[in-house]
Structure 1
Amino acid sequence: MEVFGFEKRIKNYSSYQKILLVGEGDFSFAVCLARAFGFAFNMVATSLDSRESLMVNYSKAMSNVKELESMGCIVLHEVDVHSMSRHPFLISVRFDRIIYNFPHAGYLHGSERNKLQIWFHQHLVRGFFENAREMLTGVGEIHVTHKTTFPFSEWKIVELAYMAGLYLVHEEQFLIWDYPGYENKRGAGMCDQTFPIGRSSTFKFARMLLLYRSTTSGFHLGATSSGPGPGWDTCPPMQLVLGYEVYYYSTFCMSRNLLIFLTFELITSLFAKQ
């Protein structure tokens, strides 16, 4: 993105990054980023609502959408986070940052403490992670901002990410005044109302990388700790499978030379067994 001059940043986000925003309410968060960058050619902003629904449900949505489009942002409507990786426009695009602020499945079973209600929230987030993982660049991150107090802590965001092949890079407190102009919205029948954020965090996830290494003792399945560690070969074996050690490891924890070496070792081991 150097064509647009010097890098501009707002908190975790840079004008040099290709950014996808999903589940936008009135698109005020996307507008906040665009104003900080001075343009939005590097952004794609999406919502589950149709354009017509936005006009009815959010008082500022259409003015925000028009501002985004005038700054170069691609705005897409009726984008489901459970199928977005197959969306005709998004299917071949990869992003440095994918942002989902305060995901919510709607009020399907009353209280947020209801276990079935929590399950629906988890189902929403799990499907999002599975799709978003396929849409990252090699150094991309998925950012989910979420309340951390009970019962929202019962969603188990980090565990859901791990099951989708992601690991937690960092968790930091979310402060709404870091993003001027952003107005969080309720949705679900009370769309244009804000809600108390309370104690919330932005969880940053990166994609795990599957590595193989031949061994004389058989195949082992291993997984790193959640984040960069001292070395992939220190991971404890978890399960015997076939004939290679399989390790999940962060893209950031491994040099290019190590990847080339491991790939070469795998290929030579396969030929040796034939």
Structure 2
Amino acid sequence: MEVFSFEKRIKNYSSYQKILLVGEGDFSFAVCLARAFGFAVNMVATSLDSRESLMVNYSKAISNVKELESRGCIVLHEVDVHSMSRHPFLISVRFDRIIYNFPHAGYLHGSRSCERNMFQIWFHQDLVRGFFENARQMLTRVGEIHVTHKTTFPFSEWKIVELAYMAGLYLVHEEQFSIWDYPGYENKRGAGMCDQTFPIGMCSTFKFAEMLYRSTTSGFHLGATSSGPWSGYSGIKGPHMQL
């Protein structure tokens, strides 16, 4: 597949970066990046849904998937963030950016669930904790994990930064998120009325990197290092790099 030989960027992301997107809903965020880059050979976009579920839940998902694939993106279905580091394709790949926009674990009690309920918050925290623990193992040495999340109550009670710290990550930067920076992106509910958008209100993109040293009860020890064929990847290889 012929691609451009120069770097293209959109907000925080570059066509030179190896990018993993998780929990993609209808894949519109991935499509936004792919269109900005002109190609997507350095991107992997994943969803917890099966391809069949996408057809039922999201009106534009299949057309978005087809566009991504035509631009060279790898699209994977039924990828669980709790185990994605052991996925047969992903186990040997390392990424410069791992992106999870508006993580949500679904509802414990269906339509009767309340986001303010502590059990519901713990349910969400378990999802994010599992994501961080897996994503940390999938970073290049210069890699970052980006989580976009609401910052108002009760979503602030998820304690995103604290969960990251417990997984061996530190906060590099927090910046206010604007959906207008990503043309074509449609945030989807996912749980319940899947294909509907939701008001994002005040939210931030939290950027995390792996700690060199992690605190333990017995002192400090060297944090986990990347392994596999991409472990030495520097992050600046040019646009012709394939997955």
Q: Return closer, same or farther for 1:38/1:151 CA change in 2, 3 Å cut-off.
A: same
Q: Which has the larger radius of gyration?
A: 1
Change (3 A) 1:192 1:216: closer
TM-score by length of 1: 0.75
| Stretches of structure 2 lacking an aligned partner (at least 5 in a row) | none
- Asked if residue 42 in structure 1 is aligned to residue 45 in structure 2, the reply is no
- How is 1:200-211 mapped onto 2 (pairs within 5 angstroms)? 200-208=203-211
Would the alpha carbon gap of residues 2 and 148 (structure 1) be closer, same or farther in structure 2, given more than 3 Å must change?
Answer: farther
Runs of at least 5 residues in structure 1 that lack an aligned partner in the other structure: 240-274
Distance 1:190 1:109, change over 3 A: same
Q: Distance in 1 between matches of 2:216 and 2:104?
A: 45
Query: Following TM superposition, by how much is the alpha carbon of 1:4 offset from its aligned partner in structure 2, in angstroms?
Result: 3.3
Q: Secondary structure at the match of 2:219?
A: coil
The CA deviation at 1:223 is 15
Conserved in 1, the CA contact under 8 Å of 2:30 and 2:45? yes
Deviation beyond 3 Å, 4+ runs, structure 1: 1-4, 211-233, 236-239
- Aligned counterpart, 2:231: 230
Q: Which has the higher contact order (CA 8 A, sep 6+)?
A: 2
> Cα distance, 1:167 vs. partner?
0.1
- Map residues 83-122 of structure 1 onto 2, 5 A cutoff: 83-109=83-109, 112-122=115-125
Offset at residue 213 of structure 1 (A): 14
Q: 1:98 to 1:117 in 2, by over 3 A?
A: same
* Whole-Å separation in 2 of the counterparts to 1:76 and 1:99: 15
Any idea what SS the aligned residue of 1:195 has?
coil
Contact 2:98 2:144 in 1 (8 A): yes
Instruction: For 1:186 and 1:22, locate their aligned partners in 2 and report how far apart those are by CA, in whole Å.
Output: 15
| Cα deviation 1:62-106 (Å, max 9, x = unaligned) | 000000000000000000000000000000000000000000000
Give me the whole-angstrom Cα distance separating, in 1, the residues matched to 2:187 and 2:123.
Answer: 21
- Superposed CA RMSD in Å reads 7.9
How far does residue 229 in structure 1 lie from its aligned partner after superposition? 28
1:56 Cα deviation after fit: 0.5
Q: Is the 8 A contact 1:169 1:227 kept in 2?
A: no
Cα distance in structure 1, aligned partners of 2:94 and 2:117: 36
Give the secondary structure class of the aligned counterpart of 1:3. Answer: coil
Shift of 1:187: 1.1
Q: CA deviation at 1:192?
A: 0.2
Q: Deviations over 1:107-132 (max 9, x none)?
A: 1146x000000000000000000000
Distance 1:177 1:232, change over 3 A: closer
| Gap change, CA 1:223 and 1:176, over 3 Å in 2 | same
TM-score normalised according to structure 2 size: 0.85
Contact 1:8 1:36 (8 Å CA) reproduced: yes
- 1:6 is displaced (CA, Å) by 1.1
Alpha carbons 1:47, 1:77 under 8 Å: kept:
yes
- 1:237 match: secondary structure: coil
Verify the 8 A CA contact 1:121 1:155 in the aligned structure 2: yes
Count of residue pairs brought into register by the alignment: 234
Matched residue, 1:155? 158
Report which of the two has the higher share of helix: 1
